[in-house]
Structure 1
Amino acid sequence: MSTIRLARAPDLAAVEALVDAAYGYYVARIGMTPGPMRDVDDNGYAPYIAAGYVNLLFDDDDACNSDNGAPVGLLVLIPKPDTLLLDNVAVSPAAQGRGFGKRLMQMAETYARDHGFDSITLYTQEQMHENLALYRRYGYVETHRAEERGLKRIYLRKSL
């Protein structure tokens, strides 16, 4: 079982640690720091938390409870005028393979529908092959590619 709640200001360090753990192994593959880790360096998660964009996932079966334990996953959802941007979905390496990512992706779709969005947009980096394959399995379709901040990104969209 798992619990999802909005991140609060005291969760900032846990959010940043989770992002670093989830994306750290990509640094060698892509030869630079991935976008979500750059957001940590740019203090991007504090305003996301304050705006209510960051959702944390806790494993209720863990020895720690959701008030004191570390999150096993996170989801950053940013409303845009014409779509819901799934800015980040991450699962702790120690918790991967247990269905937490799927739970977060389902939550994004539920949130989008409940808030009147007819689509979700996300992006990943070209070298993150596993993520690209996963998003395609979930029904996301590539819309375009762009290079931003030196990162080669693939944009995808899912109609709801």
Structure 2
Amino acid sequence: MSASSEQAPPRRRWLGWLRQVVVLVLLFAVVSTLSDAWRSRSVPEQGLPDWPMHTLTGETIDLAALSEERPVLVYFWATWCGVCKLVSPTVDWLAEDHTVVSVALTSGDNARLARFLSAKGYDFPVVNDPRGELARAWGIAATPSIAIVRKGEISSFTVGITTPPGLWLRLWWAS
């Protein structure tokens, strides 16, 4: 018997690979969903925390009012966070067409944070939370954490690395 007759037909091999990819994607989705549910236990369920938010430029943020017409992506991150280095460019890209408010946790004073943003070329609005008080009010336990807020309520919450399509879909779903 020749070696070529012992191999599976190309179509059958391709279907085997496709089946494995589908199983891995489904497994990843289940694990991610369970992980988000576990990590978001401390996030408030009864609306948004009543905590004043002011950007580095002095703008006052009212998330309830801002999220009335379209969803708002609220991004909790830090300059020292390794995973945030992967997620921040996506958030910056989304900020071009969507409403984004970011909260920088324990990342130094306003001047240091402004230099960091300038060096990275990020253009999203930033609320500085140098002592992590705002993060505690929100129940944030890890960075990066992302909440989608719609009509003053948290409609979606995720922690850790996420993809551009994943964030875009969360925003679209909340619309």
State the TM-score, normalized to the length of structure 1: 0.29
State the TM-score, normalized to the length of structure 2: 0.27
Q: Would you tell me which structure has more helix in proportion to its own residues?
A: 2
Q: Would you tell me which structure has more strand in proportion to its own residues?
A: 1
Q: Which has the larger radius of gyration?
A: 2
